[in-house]
Structure 1
Amino acid sequence: MKKFGIGLSIAALLTVAACGSEGANEAANADSESSNGNNEETSESNNDSSNEAEENDTENNSDNAEADEEAEEVNNEVNEDTEEVTDEVAEEGWETSVGETVENEGGTFTLHARQDDIDTAETGPVVMEIEQVNAASGELSPDLAAMMETENIEYVQMDITVENTGEEDITFYASQATIATSTGEQLESDMWMSDHIDGEMMSGTSHSGSFFFILENSNAEDIENVRITWSAPHDEDFNDIGEEVDIEVSF
């Protein structure tokens, strides 16, 4: 039967065309009707499957569109929040305001005073921008407290950028400033906490750093002004090529 069925399906048209017998025609017609019926069922089944697939695709596309809209809304909210924070920082100029307490890996710190409107200091070929001087106190983290051998700290911070605008290499010790506070303390920067600026400054170079002066006998919140001095720069023959820098910063 398997061979017959195969033979019939392949030879149906040959039988009709070549033999022309009545039985062959009937068999061929029956087979044709059966084949047409199967084709119609298959077509309907395929159409149903195709319609279901189209419906599923439409639903998936709709879900994806909704998800994209939700994601876009979240991104817009995040961007708006970021812009607000950026605008606040840009408006105030500093991330931390006077009187604010912040916490980081070093501990918890309170900013008591800040001055950032300070004239540019010039001596010989040296130009110094003092970005800020502030007075702050802090409760140190255990690791930093162990290193500093104290749990609490009162200090003055100074941020500067210094440039040798001359055509010759010079020596200027920007990191060796001395300060005198209105509370009566004379201090030099703490070498462990402060940045280092090399005293040998090549022509046309610029350097930046933060320097910390640890108060020993007074509180940062009591400081009203600070006097800051630097020795004059000198050339390779140790001749001064400028004046000593001596400025006062009031909070």
Structure 2
Amino acid sequence: MKKQLMMSGLVIGVFLGACSNDEGASENQGDEPNETAEEVVETEPLEVIEVVEKEEGTFEALKRVDEIETQEVGSMVVNVEQVELGAAQLDGLISAFTGEENIHYVQLQLTVENQSDDDVHFSFGHTSLKTNTGEEVEVPNVVLSDETDHSFAANESKQTTLLYPVESVEGLNEIELSIEGPSETAQSDALTDDLQFTIRVDG
């Protein structure tokens, strides 16, 4: 009789232990999705604020910031008038030339003025761009940007639009621009340090 009671106790103990382990495993399994969900940072999709049809294709503006910053370097004054983040569906010919059908882009509008009485070379069309998302673009796309003449006569002013294709504008809220300082000619050394802009594009 005592032997039967001892065996029954062992069976009950094993059963309760197994149930306890199953419950613990279930609780642990239930915690995993919650931990994963906490690590995922969701970003709301950007809304289209304007659609523009161009010869190059259809351009959708998603963010735009105006009247940003003006800086001087040597005799040159550079005004960043606008930064736009967007997406574009490129026309067939442009798409074939660039090898892309759909792109995301950062677009800059600049006004550049030579306040000197001398002729100056200033490579503002070679402005490089970095983003807070880790992308670097050394020069703007030559097909989708305005043509730029880097030779400035005395007191001459120019306006330009520069477009930089990027992998994505999602999460992009800051850009850094770098422009090589002016020089006397295209072959001579720069007369000043490079010009640096850090621009927030939260708008």
- Output the TM-score relative to the length of structure 1: 0.56
RMSD: 2.1
Instruction: Report the AA paired with residue 155 of structure 2.
Output: G
Determine the C-alpha separation between the residues in 1 that align with 2:91 and 2:143: 16
Instruction: Name 1:242's counterpart in structure 2.
Output: 192
Match status 1:146 vs 2:63? no
Instruction: Name 1:212's counterpart in structure 2.
Output: 163
Structure 1 counterpart SS, 2:69: coil
Instruction: Name 2:174's counterpart in structure 1.
Output: 225
**8 Å contact from structure 1 (residues 98, 114) kept in 2:** no
Relative to 1, partners in 2 of residues 1:238 and 1:107: Cα closer, same or farther, differing over 3 Å?
Answer: closer
Instruction: Report the AA paired with residue 139 of structure 1.
Output: Q
> Which deviations, in whole Å up to 9, do the C-alpha atoms of 1:181-217 show, x marking residues without a partner?
11111102011221122222111111111111111xx
Structure 1 residue 142: deviation in Å?
Answer: 2.5
Instruction: Report the AA paired with residue 195 of structure 1.
Output: D
Residues 129-144 of structure 1: pairs in structure 2 closer than 5 A: 129-144=79-94
**8 Å contact from structure 2 (residues 56, 144) kept in 1:** no
Determine the C-alpha separation between the residues in 2 that align with 1:168 and 1:102: 39
Instruction: Name 2:145's counterpart in structure 1.
Output: 194
Relative to 1, partners in 2 of residues 1:221 and 1:99: Cα closer, same or farther, differing over 3 Å?
Answer: farther
**8 Å contact from structure 1 (residues 115, 249) kept in 2:** no
Determine the C-alpha separation between the residues in 1 that align with 2:80 and 2:160: 10
Determine the C-alpha separation between the residues in 2 that align with 1:105 and 1:170: 33
Determine the C-alpha separation between the residues in 2 that align with 1:198 and 1:205: 12
Structure 1 residue 146: deviation in Å?
Answer: 2.2
Considering fraction of residues, name the structure with more strand: 2
Relative to 1, partners in 2 of residues 1:152 and 1:123: Cα closer, same or farther, differing over 3 Å?
Answer: same
Structure 1 residue 98: deviation in Å?
Answer: 5.8
Determine the C-alpha separation between the residues in 2 that align with 1:207 and 1:153: 27
Match status 1:121 vs 2:121? no
Instruction: Report the AA paired with residue 149 of structure 2.
Output: D
Give aligned pairs, total.
153
Residues 1-251 of structure 1: pairs in structure 2 closer than 5 A: 99-187=49-137, 188-215=139-166, 218-236=167-185, 238-251=188-201
Considering only CA atoms, is the larger Rg found in Structure 1 or Structure 2? 1
Extract unaligned runs of 5+ from structure 2.
1-46
Extract unaligned runs of 5+ from structure 1.
1-96
Structure 1 residue 100: deviation in Å?
Answer: 3.0
Structure 1 residue 105: deviation in Å?
Answer: 4.0
Structure 1 residue 241: deviation in Å?
Answer: 3.1
Determine the C-alpha separation between the residues in 2 that align with 1:204 and 1:155: 32
Determine the C-alpha separation between the residues in 1 that align with 2:127 and 2:119: 20
> Which deviations, in whole Å up to 9, do the C-alpha atoms of 1:152-183 show, x marking residues without a partner?
11111111111110011111101010000111
Determine the C-alpha separation between the residues in 2 that align with 1:105 and 1:240: 36
Structure 1 counterpart SS, 2:94: helix
- Output the TM-score relative to the length of structure 2: 0.68
Determine the C-alpha separation between the residues in 1 that align with 2:57 and 2:150: 31
Relative to 1, partners in 2 of residues 1:98 and 1:161: Cα closer, same or farther, differing over 3 Å?
Answer: farther
